[in-house]
């Protein structure tokens, strides 16, 4: 539902209520990595559509993302991915062993999240 709406009208993400609904699963420890990946994709979509040529809409989107703490939610979702995987394997896991336990889906989800975080950081 949201994907089609965002493609038709990217300004949908400028509405705080819609954005809150989209961000909510990122703070849930039971949200799967596929959902996290799709949310990150959805949030990055306006930056890759033709609307990127509309500086007013992009500025508005950046402001709403900042106020809604999109970056913090994406980083937290990435952290939850690692925590969930770590709990599955065992709490005695050393930090340097974390990359070895992550699945391809985990890495893809975290990649999409952190790319958007990176984009958000370098936009200003």
pLDDT in tens, 18-76: 899 999 999 999 999 999 999 999 998 888 876 556 788 888 888 899 999 999 999 99
Instruction: Provide the whole-model pTM.
Output: 0.86
Mean pLDDT check: name the lowest of 13-17, 76-80, 101-105.
13-17
Please tell me the total count of domains within the chain. 1
Q: What pLDDT does residue 68 have?
A: 92
The residue range of the domain holding 13 is 2-85+93-123
Residues sharing a CB contact under 8 Å with residue 118, sequence separation 6 or more, in sequence order:
none
């Amino acid at each position: 539902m949201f994907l089609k709406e965002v493609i038709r009208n990217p300004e949908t993400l400028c509405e705080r209520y819609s954005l809150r609904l989209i961000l909510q699963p990122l703070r849930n420890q039971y949200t799967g990595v596929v959902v996290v990946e799709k949310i990150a994709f959805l949030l990055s979509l306006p930056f890759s559509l033709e609307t990127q040529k509309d500086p007013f809409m992009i500025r508005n989107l950046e402001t709403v993302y900042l106020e809604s703490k999109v970056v913090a939610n994406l980083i937290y979702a990435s952290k939850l991915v690692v925590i969930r995987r770590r709990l599955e394997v065992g709490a005695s896991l050393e930090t340097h062993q974390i990359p070895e336990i992550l699945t391809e889906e985990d890495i893809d989800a975290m990649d999409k999240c952190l790319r958007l975080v990176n984009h958000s950081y370098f936009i200003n």
